Amino acid sequence: MSYGLYVHIPFCKHICSYCDFCKMVPSNKELVSKYIDRMINEFDLYEKYYKDVETIYIGGGTPNSLDDETLERVLQKISSLNINPKEYSIEINPELLTLSQVNLFKKYGINRVSMGAESMDDNILKLLGRHHTSEDVINAYNLLKNNGIENINIDIIYAHPWDNFDLLNDTIDKVLSLNPPHLSFYTLILEDKTIFKYKKVKMLDEDTVSNLMDLVNDRLKDYHHYEISNYSRNGFESLHNMIYWKSMEYIGIGMGASGYLDSIRYDNNRLLKDYMNSYRGEENTLDISDKKSEYMILGLRLLDGVSRSKYKKLFASNIEDDFSLYKLLKYNLIEINGDIIKMTYKGYKLGNYVFEEFI
Ligand SMILES: C[S@@+](CC[C@H](N)C(=O)[O-])C[C@H]1O[C@@H](n2cnc3c(N)ncnc32)[C@H](O)[C@@H]1O
Ligand code: SF4
């Protein structure tokens, strides 16, 4: 058995208009420090698992909004667990990245950085509620690369209300000119309790979104499109995220973090005052039918699809007997090639319709 380790830093300097992640702008330094104290103690709950942890991911929020001293406290704690990870990632916001942060990443063995660029158009960045420019993205990318961090992911959000073919094409041009080994291109989701939802922004129609998806796929042809929103150069697929998509188990630490251990899915409390009293909120033990559904829904996100024989080995039953595939095949949303069931290109664009059949 191997595990992933996710560590959540919920602090941000500003709140972006689309974001429903567990995040907050801290009112003072003491609050951050108290949170970190509390979070550092949470690591003790999972001692027996650390010897089998293969990937670490520090996400947020904005982990690099911490000052160097506080960030180093977190990294030191993780280092004391004596994990020797295959991949160790941290999420960053470009405008906050400094050389001393990059030096800390290297000192503690972080070997992958995921940067929220979101767009390479300064006007769009403002409309998304971001507080950086495209130049900040280029500078941060170069700072990482020139200081020995090669494995860099860039996140882009597209199909937002102002998007169109030329704008997106231009963002893709600028991102590709950096030649990152990994790209995540997300279509905007209008989440509840976000500024966009409150402002009732008008989302693009399905056909326009579909055309923009075609553009992304066409322009990223030189990358391996391995998950609905993820593209990599060979060998740079995200090992940590692969743990989620393959329904493997992981430890989640920090406010609002989720974990999956010993068949229990848990969500830590999302409010600071609750997390300060008790780490975990909801816990659900997955029964066999939950596990089968999750295996299919997560597994089909991977464009290589799901192996029928592996499913049978895991669950002692056939995918075709557990789920009705008739409609999905009829409408050409999935295809079966020998042992493999995978989404067609049409299915991948209509992912939610496909996943509904497995709930
Ligand atoms: C934890 S978030 C961001 C990490 C970092 N704080 C930042 O802003 O760059 C990870 C990524 O999810 C994507 N994302 C967040 N909210 C989204 C939404 N409503 N729709 C689509 N993508 C979203 C963004 O691309 C974002 O970079
Ligand atoms: S997108 Fe990132 S920086 Fe913006 S509010 Fe969400 S977590 Fe914070």
CATH number of the domain that 196 lies in? 3.20.20.70
Per-residue pLDDT at 281: 97
Let me know whether 126 and 224 are in one domain: yes
Q: How far away, in angstroms, is 92 Cα from ligand 2 center?
A: 10
Within-domain flag for 280:
no
Let me know whether 164 and 63 are in one domain: yes
Within-domain flag for 136:
yes
Per-residue pLDDT at 292: 98
Range of the domain at 10: 3-245
| Contact residues for 132 (Cβ-Cβ < 8 A; gap 6+) | 93, 94, 95, 125
What is d(CA 203, CA 215) in angstroms, rounded to the nearest whole number? 18
Let me know whether 239 and 172 are in one domain: yes
Let me know whether 116 and 213 are in one domain: yes
Q: How far away, in angstroms, is 59 Cα from ligand 1 center?
A: 11
Domain boundary pick from 210, 245, 280: 245
Let me know whether 206 and 346 are in one domain: no
Within-domain flag for 283:
no
Per-residue pLDDT at 108: 98
Let me know whether 240 and 322 are in one domain: no
What is d(CA 198, CA 280) in angstroms, rounded to the nearest whole number? 29
Instruction: Work out how many domains the chain is built from and give that number.
Output: 2
Let me know whether 205 and 330 are in one domain: no
* Beta bridge mates, 306: 341
Let me know whether 42 and 109 are in one domain: yes
* Beta bridge mates, 284: 265
Q: Which pair of structure tokens corresponds to residue 213?
A: 């998806």
Let me know whether 21 and 130 are in one domain: yes
The residue whose CA has the least distance to atom 9 of ligand 1 is 116
**Closest ligand 1 atom to Cα of 118:** 25
Q: How far away, in angstroms, is 3 Cα from ligand 2 center?
A: 26
**Closest ligand 1 atom to Cα of 116:** 9
208 CB neighbour count, 10 Å cutoff = 14
Let me know whether 41 and 183 are in one domain: yes
**Closest ligand 2 atom to Cα of 130:** 4
Per-residue pLDDT of the chain (359 residues; tens, 9 = 90+): 899 999 999 999 999 999 999 999 999 999 999 999 999 999 999 999 999 999 999 999 999 999 999 999 999 999 999 999 999 999 999 999 999 999 999 999 999 999 999 999 999 999 999 999 999 999 999 999 999 999 999 999 999 999 999 999 999 999 999 999 999 999 999 999 999 999 999 999 999 999 999 999 999 999 999 999 999 998 999 999 999 999 999 999 999 999 999 999 999 999 999 999 999 999 999 999 999 999 999 999 999 999 999 999 999 999 999 999 999 999 999 999 999 999 999 999 998 899 999 99
The residue whose CA has the least distance to atom 6 of ligand 2 is 19
Ligand 2 proximal residues by C-beta, below 6 Å: 12, 15-16, 19, 21, 23, 60-62, 93, 116
Q: How far away, in angstroms, is 329 Cα from ligand 1 center?
A: 33
Per-residue pLDDT at 234: 87
Per-residue pLDDT at 184: 98
Q: How far away, in angstroms, is 277 Cα from ligand 2 center?
A: 25
The residue whose CA has the least distance to atom 10 of ligand 1 is 116
Within-domain flag for 251:
no
* Beta bridge mates, 60: 9
Domain boundary pick from 225, 245, 265: 245
Let me know whether 42 and 172 are in one domain: yes
Q: Which pair of structure tokens corresponds to residue 103?
A: 């030096």
Within-domain flag for 296:
no
**Closest ligand 1 atom to Cα of 189:** 20
* Beta bridge mates, 336: 341
The residue whose CA has the least distance to atom 2 of ligand 2 is 61
Q: How far away, in angstroms, is 116 Cα from ligand 1 center?
A: 7
